[in-house]
Amino acid sequence: MIPARKKYLIFILSILYLFIGIDIPGQDSHNGYWLPVTDTLRIFLIYAELTNDPDDPGIFNGWKAGALPPDPGFLFDHRLLPGEEPEGMISKYYYQASFGKYIVLADYYPEIVSIDYSKVIGRGFNQVLDKIADTNADDIITRHGYSINSGDFDLITTSIYGSPKEKKPDLMIDMVMVIWRVNSKMTRHLSAGFCVPGRKMYAMKDMKGMNSYSSFVNKDYRHYSIIRHEFSHMLLGGNNFHTGGSGAGTKTFMSSAGGYAMLSSFNKSAPVYCAFDRRRLGWKHSDNRFQISARDPVSGEEINADLVYLQDFHHGSNEFILRDFVQTGDVIRIELPYLQAFSNKVQKQWLWLENHQKIEGNIDHEKDTRKGLYAYIQVGKEILSGLGTYGGNCNYTWPVSAFGNYDFRIDEEAKESMISNDLSNPFTGYNNLIYGAYDLKDRDGLIYRDELFLAKNLKVNGEYPDSSVFNIGTYPLFGTSMDAFQPGGKIGIDRNPVAVPVMTYQTSSSVRARPRAPTAIDNRTIHLNGISVEFTEQLADGSIKLKIRWDDRSVEKNVRWCGDIYLHEELTLEKSARILLDQGITPQKPMDPLEFNGQVVFTDSTRFTLTGGSGIRMKRRSKIIVDNNSTLILDPGSIIDIDRGAKLIITESGNLIIHPEAKITGKGKIIFMNGSSEDQDSVFRSQSRSGFSKY
C-alpha cells in the first residue's frame, strides 16, 4: 500500500489523444504539443462538487461541503505584474521551470457549483458548464473581475500538435478546468483527472467553445501533482512522454524507472522538472547562449556542456562548475559511446548531471532527499522537430542513484528488499529508485508489465539503515538522502554506479500482453568506456565543481561485473584489484529464465568480450575470476597481458574462449579450477583443461 504522504494515486483517466504520438510535418517541440510554452495563459477555473455523493468525506483538509476551498487561489495566481514572483503552486512551477517565460494564471468562478449525484450523466463536466452558462446574466465574471465575453480567458489561438501557436483571440476559451471536491463518478481516489488537448464546441456566452478542457477530483485542494502532471501533457506530448515514475504507454524498460520530471507520476522521487524537459520546451535562462551549459571554474564564463565522448574540452580544462539547476539551468550532458557498435537501430543514450541545492522558495527535491549532484540517463527521445517529434516510448529516463546498483533480494510478505556488498551489480542491477520487475503473481516463467515490486523498507548488509540519517525508513523508491552524489563521490569504471549504457527492453502498454523478444531499438549490451565524473568540491555559494575524464580506464577496486559486456579500449587492472565475472540475478528479460543455484533468474549468463584492438593489462597480484557460467572471450586482435603474480582464474563453471589471433602474454598465471588442488597451479600448460576452448 502507498504510504500516507504518497497516497494520492494518480488514476489517470486516459484520453485517446494522449495515447498517440502524432507525426505532422513542421512540428517542433519548442512550439508546445497543444498549448504554447511561452507568454501568458489564463485558465477559467471552476470548483464543483456532487451533493449526496456516497464517497463524500464532508470535509477534507478544511474544504467543507457546499463551499469553495479555504484558499481557492492556492494553485494559481490570477495575475502577475512585472517584477512580481508567483505564489500559486502551479503558477510558480511553470514560472520557475521556464525562467519566467511561461506564465500560467487562472481565476475561478466565485461560487462552488453543486450538482446532485443522482442526476449526473457521465462524469458531470458538461452539467457544470450547463449550470454556469444557463444563467440570466449576459456575461460570466470570475472572482477577481475577469470577464468571459471580454476575452480575459481567450489569449491564444492554438493549432495542431507541435505547430506554432498565435498570441491572439479566437472566440475560444483557452482552457476550462473543473476541480471537484468530490465526484465518485470520476474516481473514489483522493486525486485523479485529465486534460484534453482538443477543442470542445460548447458555447459559453459570447465564446464559441474552448480550446482545451480538464477535470480533476482533488479532495485535498492543496495537492497539485496530478494537475501539474496532466497539464504538462499539453506541453510535452501524450502518454508516451511519461517518465520519472509509472505511467501508461509502451515502456522503454521492463521496470518502471522512478526519478523526477514534469511528467513523473505517483512513484516519483520529486515533483521538480528535469533538464530534459527544459531542453525539449526550449526553456533557457536569458543569460545563457547554450541550452546545455555549465561554467568555467577559472573565468566563470559559460561553456557548451553538451559533450561527446573523447572530444576536446572547449575551455581547455576537464573541470566544470554547476550552479543550482533550478535557478540557473546549469547542466552537463554526456553522450555514452558505442551504443551503435553493432547496429545503428539501437537507441542512443546520454548521461545528465544536475546540481540541486533545494534553495528556499524553489520547487525542487523534497525533504527526504538532500542537496547534491543528481544524475540520470536519457534513452532515445532526441527528436525535437519534424517527423518523430512526438513519437517514441515512455519511461525514457533511468535514475543514476549514488546509492548504487545491486542484485536485490526481495521479501514479498515483509515488503522489503535486501542488498549486500557482495551482490554489487553496477551494470545490470537495480537501485533504490527502480520499481523493479519480477515474476511475482503466477510464478509462470513470465514477467508481465504489472509485476512490479514496491519495497516498503530496505535492509543493507542485514541491517536497516538509520532512518534519521538516511531518510529511508519507508518506501525508498520515493527518494532518500543517499540518492544525490556528495563531495568525493564519483561515477567511474571501478565504482558503483558506472557511466555505461543501461539495458532496455521495450514493454507493451497492455498490462497482460504476453512478453516478447527485445526489439531492434533495445540495448542489450554493456559497453565499457573511460568516462568518469568526480564531484571534487562543494563551493560556498552551493555550486559544485566536477572533473570529467575520458581516459579513466583503471580498475583500482574490487568489482563484480554481470551482463553482456564489451571492451573496446585498453583497460588496466591495478595491483591487488579484482574483477569477478558472475551470474547476475536482477531480471533483464521477461521470459526464458535460467536455473541458477536453485532459483529462477530472468537474465543471461555473463559474457565479457574483448573486441579487436582492446586489451587488459593485469598488474601484480591482480585477479580476473570467471565464475558461475560466465565466459571471457578474446576476439581477434585483442590481448591480455598478465604481470608476474597476477592470476586469470577460470572456475569449473567458467569458460575462456581465445581466438587464434588473440594473445595472452606476460609471466602471470591462468588457473583452471576443477576441484583438485594440483590444477590450481596450471600455467598455460593445457588447452584441453575444463573451461579452456578455442575457435
Indicate whether 99 and 246 sit together in one domain: no
Decide if pLDDT at 25 tops 70.
no
**Same domain? 222 vs 242:** no
Q: Sorting pLDDT into bands at 50, 70 and 90, what band is 247?
A: confident
Q: How confident is the model at residue 265 (pLDDT cuts 50, 70, 90)?
A: confident
What DSSP designation does 91 have?
H
The grid coordinates of residue 219 equal 479532495
- Mark which of 215, 237, 259 sits at the end of a domain: 237
Per residue in 345-394, pLDDT tens?
Answer: 999 999 999 999 999 999 999 888 999 999 999 999 999 999 999 999 99
* One domain, residues 121 and 93: yes
Same structural domain, 46 and 184: yes
Half-sphere exposure of 69 (CA within 13 A, CB side): 23
Please give the single-letter amino acid code of residue 305. Answer: A
Rounded to the nearest integer, the mean pLDDT of the chain is: 92
566 falls within a domain: no
Query: Cα(487)–Cα(73) distance, rounded to whole angstroms?
Result: 41
Distance between CA atoms of residues 682 and 332, nearest Å: 49
pLDDT higher than 70, residue 23: no
Cell of 184: 465518485
Task: State the CB neighbour count (10 A cutoff) for residue 377.
Answer: 22
The pLDDT confidence band at residue 113, using thresholds 50, 70 and 90, is very high
Contact present, 459 and 418 (Cβ < 8 Å): yes
Averaged over 511-530, what is the pLDDT?
95
The overall pTM is greater than 0.85: yes
Question: Does residue 442 sit within a domain?
Answer: yes
Q: Are residues 58 and 194 in the same domain?
A: yes
**Are residue 210 and residue 344 in the same domain, yes or no?**
no
558 lies in some domain: no
- Does residue 561 form part of some domain? no
- Interior angle at CA 33, CA 19 and CA 449, nearest 5: 25
Instruction: Examine the domain organization and report whether 371 and 458 are in the same domain.
Output: yes
What are the backbone dihedrals phi and psi of residue 469, each rounded to the nearest 5 degrees, phi first? -100, -45
Burial state string for 632-649 with b = 16 or more CB within 10 A and e = fewer than 16: bbbbeebbbbbbeebbbb
Radius of gyration for the chain, computed over Cα atoms and rounded to the nearest angstrom = 28
List beta partners, residue 108.
Answer: 45
How many Å apart are CA 59 and CA 553, to the nearest integer? 61
30, 37 Cβ separation under 8 angstroms: yes
Whether residue 689 is predicted with pLDDT greater than 60 in this model: the reply is no
Beta bridge partners of 191: 218
Mean pLDDT score, 264-275 = 92
- What would the grid cell of residue 647 be? 592470476
Amino acid 26: pLDDT: 78
Q: Residues near 606 by Cβ (< 8 Å), separated by ≥ 6? A: 561, 562, 563, 564, 565, 581, 582, 583, 584, 628, 629, 630, 631
What is the secondary structure of 101-163 as a DSSP string?
SEEEEEEE-SS-EEEEGGG--TTSHHHHHHHHHTSSSSS-B-TTS-BTTTTTT---B--STTS
| One-letter identity of residue 311 | Q
Same domain, 186 and 293: no
Q: Which of 216, 237, 258 is the last residue of a domain?
A: 237
- Statement to judge: residues 321 and 255 lie in one domain: yes
Q: Report the alpha-carbon distance of residue 524 to residue 503 in Å, rounded.
A: 5
> Are 378 and 393 in contact, with CB atoms under 8 Å apart?
no
Q: How does pLDDT run across 435-494, given as a tens digit for each residue?
A: 999 999 889 999 999 999 999 999 999 999 888 878 776 789 999 999 999 999 999 999
- Say if 96 falls within a structural domain: yes
Please report the pLDDT score of residue 134 as a whole number. 86
> Do 578 and 487 share a structural domain?
no
Does 559 map to a domain?
A: no
Is 569 a domain residue? Answer: no
Question: Measuring CA to CA, which residue among 219, 269, 284, 170 is closest to residue 48?
Answer: 219
Question: Grid cell 522538472 — which residue?
Answer: 273
Q: Which three cell numbers stand for residue 65?
A: 461541503
Q: What is the DSSP letter of 202?
A: -
3-state secondary structure 509-540: CCCCCCCCCCCCCCCCCEECCCCEEEEEEECC
State residue 4's pLDDT score: 42
pLDDT for 12: 40
In a domain, 496, yes or no: yes
45 is in which domain, residue-wise? 4-237
- Sheet architecture: strand order including 564-567: 526-527, 564-567, 607-610, 631-634, 655-658, 692-694
Number of domains in the chain: 3
Contact call for residues 14 and 79 (beta carbons, < 8 A): no
Beta carbons within 10 angstroms of residue 496's beta carbon = 21
For 206, the grid coordinates are 459570447
Q: What are the residues whose beta carbons fall under 8 Å from the beta carbon of 390, sequence distance 6 or more?
A: 21, 22, 23, 27, 29, 33, 161, 162, 237, 238, 240, 241
* Exposed/middle/buried for residue 277 (C-beta within 10 Å: 0-12, 13-18, 19+): buried
Nearest to 526 by CA among 587, 568, 578: 568
Q: Are residues 229 and 261 in the same domain?
A: no
If asked whether residues 134 and 162 sit together in one domain, one would say: yes
- Nearby residues of 481 by Cβ (< 8 Å), 6 or more positions away: 368, 369, 370, 469, 470, 471, 472
Q: What does the alpha-carbon distance between residue 626 and residue 554 come to, in Å, rounded to a whole number?
A: 19
